[in-house]
Amino acid sequence: MALDRKVGFWEGVRYKGGGPMLAWALHRISGLGMIIFISLHVVASFFTQQMGSDWAIGINIIYESPYFQLFIVFAVLFHALNGMRIIILDLWPKMLRYQREMTWLQWLIFIPIYSLTIFIMIQRVMAGG
């Protein structure tokens, strides 16, 4: 009997799709990450306000920690830029031929903005803010 066609998660991850496949995976992860953490933040803030519950305060402490903020800024910025790239490719399919260049451009915009964010955050933390 032939084997099932099903492709396991790890089997899929093992496929060497390279940069573009990674961008797609990050797009999904960052999208999901934003939904989960921002809704958690909103819910936790509500519970903190209404009843000062400990778990809600705990979640908001994590949320407001500089490390977590770095992650969230990464997710928002990456998701936005990658989304823009895909919208451009969808509107002008001829550009799909130059997708490698477009991915470079995307990182070229991403790196300075993200570095600046990290820089400002470190400055704040150093200043005890």
Instruction: Tell me which of 29, 84, 96, 122 binds another protein, using CB under 8 A.
Output: 96
Exactly one of 76, 77, 86, 121 binds another protein (CB under 8 A); which one?
86
Residue 38: CB minimum distance to another protein, A:
23
CA gap 14, 8 in Å, rounded: 10
Q: Is 58 in the site for another protein (CB under 8 A)?
A: no
**Out of 53, 99, 106, 117, the residue judged to bind another protein by CB under 8 A:** 99
Q: Is 61 in the site for another protein (CB under 8 A)?
A: no
Tell me the closest approach of the beta carbon of residue 30 to another protein, in angstroms. 14
What value, to the nearest 5°, has the Cα angle with vertex 63 and ends 60 and 68?
Answer: 160
Tokens 């903005």 belong to residue: 113
Pick one of 26, 89, 109, 121: the residue that binds another protein (CB under 8 A).
Answer: 89
What are the residues binding another protein (CB under 8 A)? 1-5, 7, 11-12, 14-18, 20-21, 24, 86, 89-91, 93-94, 96-97, 99
